[in-house]
């Protein structure tokens, strides 16, 4: 693949990882890209690198445009290794380059990973460097989603290099949002927000506030397509998601040993549907938790069910609840349910875990002794139908 021009003198020089299917546990069913950008001016700047195995691809694309020895700045918007992994190879081949970091945290992280021997040039909020005709201005976005994150803005080109923010794990031939099906791109943007950004709504809002006054022709994230035709859509989506006021909708999640908890999940789903509420039903044996969390991004209610196994939860449910607690969704209500033969500890454990994850209880945990009969299931459906959501 060639270096792709964004505007005259500005190029995408990243890499497409078509076959990636997991990103530290989050399923990337449509692959990923690691976007890096090259700006040609009196000084030449490379913004971010790529994951280490793609270093040669990155350098080959840069070399299509300019000899590597001519690169003056390497801007590192984020320490995470999908963007910094190729720094050692890049710095070895770009002897003039100064490595720019956003903050002590960025420099600390890069030093920890790659050593102190590089010519670091820390920058802070409001700092800028002149490339000649163009300027790079730095906007720290700490905890979006690591302490070191920043964005880089080029006012002359009206391009915001937003790093992880507004990204999507989406491998594609098209580099721009209007070259790919918008619904696919937005689903992957939602999945990215739900699984990466969701714990940090205040930081997402702060970033939106910092971006709001900027004149922007392009948002060039470090993953997925570059936004040019649908910038208002992705900004509005981030506003909506970070507001944590999801629409009235339900996600029902369960695992089951002999189908009793499954029957309860179906009855609960019927109850939500009887309220006219959209519902997504997930069996943890077949749905991945990163997809379930993506559905929860657009849902106000969460019901989680587990039977009791050895006085405890099923491990799949336990893993989901651990993941949920880490992402700490705000503004959701929910309840626990499950069947049991004896003991029945799991149902209360699910309820406690939901509360600990910040899910406001809608009702007491629903316990079913042994197999639910038709009357039990009808009563459960009616109970959910009558809940004030
Ligand atoms: Fe795409 Fe936080 O790295």
Q: Which residue lies with its CA nearest to atom 1 of ligand 1?
A: 164
Distance CA 262, CA 274 (A): 18
Crossing angle, helix 182-192 and helix 231-243, to 10 degrees?
30
At 104 the pLDDT is 74
3-state secondary structure of 23: strand
First-residue to last-residue Cα distance in the chain = 51
323 is catalytic: no
24 is catalytic: yes
> 283 C-alpha to center of ligand 1: Å?
29
Residues 222 and 286 in one domain: no
Distance CA 279, CA 295 (A): 9
Burial-class residue 188 by CB neighbours within 10 Å (0-12, 13-18, 19+). Answer: buried
> 161 C-alpha to center of ligand 1: Å?
13
Residues 219 and 256 in one domain: no
Confidence band, pLDDT 50/70/90 cuts, at residue 229: very high
Residues 346 and 215 in one domain: no
Select from 210, 243, 276 the last residue of a domain: 243
Q: Which residue lies with its CA nearest to atom 2 of ligand 1?
A: 80
Select from 211, 243, 275 the last residue of a domain: 243
Enumerate the β-bridge partners of residue 337.
305, 366
Question: Which one from 11, 83, 118, 145 is the annotated catalytic residue?
Answer: 145
pLDDT at 103 over 80: no
164 is catalytic: yes
Distances (CA, A) of 28 to 32, 41, 102, 174, 175: 7, 36, 28, 18, 18
* Ligand 1 lining (C-beta closer than 6 Å): 78, 80, 82-83, 145-146, 164, 222-223
What CATH number is attached to the domain comprising 344? 3.40.50.360
- Beta 150-154 vs 135-140: how paired, if at all? antiparallel
Q: Which residue lies with its CA nearest to atom 3 of ligand 1?
A: 80
Residues 210 and 266 in one domain: no
> 213 C-alpha to center of ligand 1: Å?
25
Distance CA 185, CA 229 (A): 12
Q: Encode pLDDT of 159-214 as tens digits.
A: 999 999 999 999 999 999 999 999 999 999 999 999 999 999 999 999 999 999 99
Q: How crowded is the C-beta side of 62, counted as CA atoms within 13 Å?
A: 34
Residues 214 and 321 in one domain: no
> 81 C-alpha to center of ligand 1: Å?
7
Q: Which atom of ligand 1 is nearest to the CA of 149?
A: 2
Question: Which one from 34, 118, 153, 192 is the annotated catalytic residue?
Answer: 192
For the chain, how long is the longest CA-to-CA vector? 77
Q: Encode pLDDT of 316-355 as tens digits.
A: 999 999 999 999 999 999 999 999 999 999 999 999 999 9
Residues 236 and 110 in one domain: yes
* Number of CB atoms found within 10 A of residue 126's CB: 9
User: Which domain, by its residues, includes 259?
Assistant: 249-385
127 is catalytic: no
Total domains, the chain: 2
Residues 221 and 85 in one domain: yes
Q: Are 336 and 361 in contact (CB under 8 A)?
A: no
pLDDT more than 70, % of the chain: 100
78 is catalytic: yes
Give Cβ neighbours of residue 173 (< 8 Å, ≥ 6 apart): 179
At 209 the pLDDT is 97
Q: Are 134 and 8 in contact (CB under 8 A)?
A: no
What CATH number is attached to the domain comprising 232? 3.60.15.10
Distance CA 102, CA 295 (A): 34
Write down the pTM of the prediction: 0.97
Question: Which one from 83, 223, 230, 282 is the annotated catalytic residue?
Answer: 223
Residues 166 and 288 in one domain: no
Confidence band, pLDDT 50/70/90 cuts, at residue 100: confident
Residues 263 and 305 in one domain: yes
Confidence band, pLDDT 50/70/90 cuts, at residue 99: confident
Residues 284 and 365 in one domain: yes
Question: Which one from 48, 148, 157, 164 is the annotated catalytic residue?
Answer: 164
Residues 213 and 262 in one domain: no
Select from 209, 243, 277 the last residue of a domain: 243
145 is catalytic: yes
* Number of CB atoms found within 10 A of residue 385's CB: 16
> 80 C-alpha to center of ligand 1: Å?
5
Residues 225 and 350 in one domain: no
């Amino acid at each position: 693949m060639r270096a792709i021009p964004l505007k005259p003198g500005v190029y995408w020089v990243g890499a497409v990882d078509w076959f990636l299917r997991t990103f530290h546990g989050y399923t990337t069913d449509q692959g990923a890209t690691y976007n890096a950008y090259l700006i040609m001016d009196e000084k030449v700047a490379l913004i971010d690198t790529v994951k280490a195995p793609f270093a040669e691809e990155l350098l080959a694309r840069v070399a299509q445009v300019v000899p590597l020895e001519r690169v003056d700045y390497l801007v590192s918007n984020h320490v995470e290794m999908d963007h910094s992994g190729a720094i050692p190879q890049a710095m070895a081949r770009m002897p003039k380059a100064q490595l720019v970091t956003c903050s002590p945290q960025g420099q600390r992280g890069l030093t920890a990973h790659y050593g102190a021997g590089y010519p670091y040039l820390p920058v802070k909020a409001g700092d800028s460097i002149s490339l000649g005709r163009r300027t790079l201005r730095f906007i720290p976005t700490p905890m979006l989603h690591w302490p070191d994150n920043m964005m880089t803005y080029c006012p002359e080109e009206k391009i915001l290099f937003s790093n992880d923010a507004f990204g999507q794990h989406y491998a594609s031939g098209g580099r721009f949002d209007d070259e790919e099906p918008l619904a696919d791109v937005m689903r992957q943007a939602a999945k990215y927000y739900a699984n990466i950004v969701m714990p940090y709504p205040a930081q997402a809002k702060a970033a939106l506030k910092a971006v709001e006054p900027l004149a922007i022709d392009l948002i060039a994230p470090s993953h997925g397509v570059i936004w040019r035709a649908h910038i208002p859509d992705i900004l509005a989506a981030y506003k909506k998601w970070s507001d944590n006021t999801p629409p009235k909708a339900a996600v029902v999640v369960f695992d089951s040993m002999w189908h009793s908890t499954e029957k309860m999940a179906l009855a609960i789903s019927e109850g939500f549907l009887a309220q006219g509420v959209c519902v997504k039903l997930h069996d943890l044996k077949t749905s991945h938790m990163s997809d379930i969390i993506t559905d929860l991004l657009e849902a106000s209610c969460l019901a989680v069910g587990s039977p009791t196994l050895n006085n405890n939860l099923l491990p799949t449910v336990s893993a989901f609840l651990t993941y949920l607690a880490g992402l700490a969704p705000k503004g959701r209500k929910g309840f626990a349910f499950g069947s049991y033969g004896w003991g029945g500890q799991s149902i209360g454990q699910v309820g406690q875990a939901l509360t600990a994850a910040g899910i406001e209880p809608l009702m007491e945990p629903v316990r079913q002794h042994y197999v639910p009969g038709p009357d039990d299931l009808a009563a459960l459906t009616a109970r959910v139908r009558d809940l004030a959501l």
